[in-house]
Structure formats: C-alpha cells, structure tokens
Amino acid sequence: MKVSQTIDSVREKVKDARKQGKTIGLVPTMGALHEGHISLVEAARKKCDFVVVSIFVNPTQFGPAEDFDKYPRPIEDDLKKCEQAGVDLVFNPSPNEMYPEKVITWVNVEKITENLCGSSRPGHFRGVTTVCSKLFNIVTPDMAFFGQKDAQQSIVIKRMVADLNMPLEIVVCPIIREENGLAMSSRNKYLSEQEKEDASYIYKSLQKCMEMIDSGSRETETLINEMRTILKAKKSIKVEYISIVDEKTLENIDKIQGKSLAAIAVRIGSTRLIDNFPIDIT
C-alpha cells in the first residue's frame, strides 16, 4: 500500500494505475476508520481495480462551534486498517495541501441542503461538496463510495455529480451497525458505554417506524410521534429532528408514497448522531 500526502504524488500514482488499464475507486473519509468504512473499501475492491482511500478531516464542513479540533485522528491505526483491507493508495493531505489559500471558490448544491442536517449545520454541505469536488478532480475516480448513514450527503453528492456532469458513478453502501443497532460512526468514539446503550434507541425508533409502515401506516405525523415517544424513554437523548422526507427533494411529506426517507438526528451529551432508513412503497 502506498501513502501520498501531496496532490502531485496521487496524480502520478493514479496515472500509473490507469496506464495498466486499471479502473479507479475512491472512498473519501475523514479517518477514524470503522467497519462502516471498511465495508466501503470492500465494495470498491469488488468494483474497481485500484482503490484509493482519502483521509482528510475537512475544515470547511465544520461550523465554528463544532468538533473539528477534537475530531479523532488516529492515523497510524487508520493506515493499518487500510493495509489490511487491501487499499492500494491512501491520500492523507495536510489542510494546507488541500486549501493553500482562503477558499473563495465553492461548490454549492441548493435546496436539498436546506432541510434535515442542513438546517442545523449551515455551510456544512457546501464544505462537503467543495472538498468532494476537489477529491474527484485530484483522484479522477471511475466510482466513489459513500455510506447510507449519511443519507443526505449521498443524495447531495449524487445531485452535484449529475448537475455538473462529473464523469464518475456514486455508489451508496448500506449502514453497518453495532450489535445493539447503533449505526457505526467515527463520532461513536465520544460516547460512554451508557451513552452507547442509550443511543441504540435511535435504531429502535426507526425499527418501530418500519414496522408501522409494513402494517399500513402512512401518516408521517403518527409515525414521527411514535418515534419521538420511543426516544423520550432516554433522558440523555435530545432530539434535533425526526423527519420523513421525499427521497428526491428532501422536503417533509405528510403522507408516505413512493420513495422517501425517515431520518433522525439527536444529541447525546455533546455528541451529534444521525441515522435513517429509506422507504420504498412503490
């Protein structure tokens, strides 16, 4: 496995791989890798010949009061995990390599970035789409792999790629969960054992919603109230949103029909956690 810290070095290695006729898969990450990330690498290995993982805690997607400084950066451990997972190249640039000057050129997807996480994290998605555009331009992958856990992020990136005619395919892979149902996330590292247990109620509430939909419930208000009641059982959980939205517009809907998304964001202590499940009743 090779590790590059500079854009020139990545371009050179990708060029060599292309010369050998290899297809390129990119797994963009902010490090603190867990099984969810490894599942993305595995998916990339199945579909592409040369797998690049980027590890970069992207400052432009964090708000001023968010956890940029304390975000975990266990780089040695991450490199070991990448090596074990069969990654060909890790791109681990410094902030200065990615942003040598104050950013004045942004890639911004409108509308679908306003609801859900967009409403409490202004500027977050603009940072994500800007850094992903840069990574796509640097690595020039045929495919890039994202997790369903960040459902809104995946939808926004797909839309950006379509709108800007970027020549790559976005592959979205299923959520990987802890035994108790908690969706894997680098931020789970912030939780105590008790908080992790409490956090399992997020998935419990989503499961209840799925069951109710399977039994014919369609009114989103009823479903959301039920999820809220389940989450209320844990005092440590402060709900930021529980929403059921149209899968394409990400606008709240009153009645489920076609493809939609049930999504939750909560805080436990100072840790923000998200989860979701896609609904398809077409």
At 273 the three-state DSSP class reads strand
Shortest gap between Cβ of 31 and ligand PAF (angstroms)?
Answer: 8
Q: Which CB atom, from 30 or from 182, has the smaller least distance to ligand PAF?
A: 30
Residues 87, 123: contact at Cβ < 8 Å? Answer: no
Residue 214, Cβ density class (10 Å: 0-12 exposed, 13-18 middle, ≥19 buried):
exposed
- Whether residue 124 lies in the annotated active site: no
61 touches ligand PAF (CB under 6 A)? yes
Phi, psi (degrees; rounded to nearest 5) at 140: 50, 55
28 touches ligand PAF (CB under 6 A)? yes
Shortest gap between Cβ of 39 and ligand PAF (angstroms)?
Answer: 14
In angstroms, the CA 46 to CA 85 distance is 12
The interface with ligand PAF within residues 116-145 (CB under 6 A) comprises 128, 131-132
Place of tokens 């579909």: 47
Binds ligand PAF (CB under 6 A): choice among 10, 26, 29, 88: 29
In angstroms, the CA 208 to CA 168 distance is 37
Residues 138, 56: contact at Cβ < 8 Å? Answer: no
Helix (H) or strand (E) run with residue 225 in it:
helix 220-232
Q: Which CB atom, from 131 or from 209, has the smaller least distance to ligand PAF?
A: 131
> What character string, x for contact with ligand PAF (CB under 6 A) and - otherwise, covers 213-252?
----------------------------------------
Considering the candidates 13, 37, 149, 272, report the single residue annotated as catalytic. Answer: 37
Q: Which residues bind ligand PAF (CB under 6 A)?
A: 28-30, 58, 61, 128, 131-132, 150, 153
